Amino acid sequence: MEKTARLEAHKRQMLGTRRARRLRRAGLVPGIVYGHEAEPVPVTVSGYDLAVLIQHGHRLLHLQLDGEEQQVLIKDLQYDHLARSIIHVDMVRVALSDVVSVEVPIIIKGVAKGTHEGGILEVHADKIEIECPVTAIPEAIEVWVDGLGVGDAIHAGKVQLPAGAKLVSSPELLIVTCRMVAEAKTTEQVQMETPAAPEVIREAKKAESDQQKEQD
């Protein structure tokens, strides 16, 4: 179940790329609060506090915006090019009675039986989009793969969702597969596919030349 935490924010009076860079250097993250037919409000929040909340799975927040409390949902996060630091956050105003669409992380559980038959497990998606009450957003959705044999796959339509949740992602979205490991090539195959080294080529050409001279 989604937990509600508190985060302090302040309105941004000055906008622009340069100003945003200064804010980030000061440990702040620029963002925006929008939704519920109210005007969007540019804000700043503590980068450290936001990161801690994200790490603990919080997305539904009591936002303290310059002394006024609002219920918001973290809708989108932008990270730097190294995917380490949050550089922007989008938060949408919500009511506790709202039903929302959110992307939820997928956690693979168990050991596929196909891995005991020479297969390997391949994960194709790390999140899934669902629709659920804003107060019941799961931190993650578990996908059990114990019964997955070689050649089998699990699609989003077969993932067990929490009670009250509906699938938004395509039912055909590929989540995980189990496939046979490619057989190792024999030494003879490797030798046939490996180009001859330059020294070997030169030696072969020299021998051919010497043989031609003897015939002449």
Q: How many domains does the chain have?
A: 2
CATH (domain of 207): 2.170.120.20
Of the candidates 55, 42, 57, the one whose C-alpha atom is nearest the C-alpha of residue 9 is: 42
Whether the Cβ atoms of residue 34 and residue 63 lie closer than 8 Å to each other: no
pLDDT at 61: 93
Question: Do 28 and 104 share a domain, yes or no?
Answer: no
- Answer yes or no: is pLDDT of 148 > 80: yes
Last residue of a domain, one of 74, 94, 114: 94
Q: What is the pLDDT of residues 71-97, one digit of tens each?
A: 999 999 999 888 889 999 999 999 989
> Is 109 in the same domain as 33?
no
Q: What region does 99 belong to: left with phi over 0, alpha with psi -120 to 50, or beta? A: beta
Percent of the chain clearing pLDDT 70 (strictly above): 82
> Residues 15-22: what's their mean pLDDT?
82
- Listed in order, strand segments (DSSP E) in the chain are 4-11, 28-35, 38-46, 60-65, 68-79, 86-93, 99-109, 119-123, 127-133, 141-144, 153-155, 166-167, 174-180
| Residue 212: pLDDT over 90 | no
Q: Is the pLDDT of residue 210 over 60?
A: no
The answer on 111 and 41 residing in a single domain is: no
Residue 69, token pair as written in the block: 């409390």
Residue 96 host element (H or E): none
3-state secondary structure of 190: helix
Q: How far is 208 from 206, CA to CA, in rounded Å?
A: 5
Contact call for residues 156 and 143 (beta carbons, < 8 A)? no
| 85 plus 101 within the same structural domain | no
How are the residues of the chain apportioned to helix, strand and coil, as percentages rounded to the nearest 5?
25, 40, 35
The residue from 70, 94, 118 where one domain ends is 94
Please give the residue range of the domain that contains residue 33: 4-94
- Do 58 and 102 lie in one domain? The reply is no
Measured CA to CA, the distance from residue 168 to residue 32 in angstroms comes to: 25
Same domain, 54 and 66: yes
Closest among 161, 87, 145, 153 to 112, alpha carbons compared:
145
Summarised one tens digit per residue, pLDDT across range 159-204 is: 999 999 999 999 999 999 999 887 544 445 545 655 555 554 455 4
Are both 9 and 87 inside the same structural domain? yes
Extract the tokens encoding 77: 């996060």
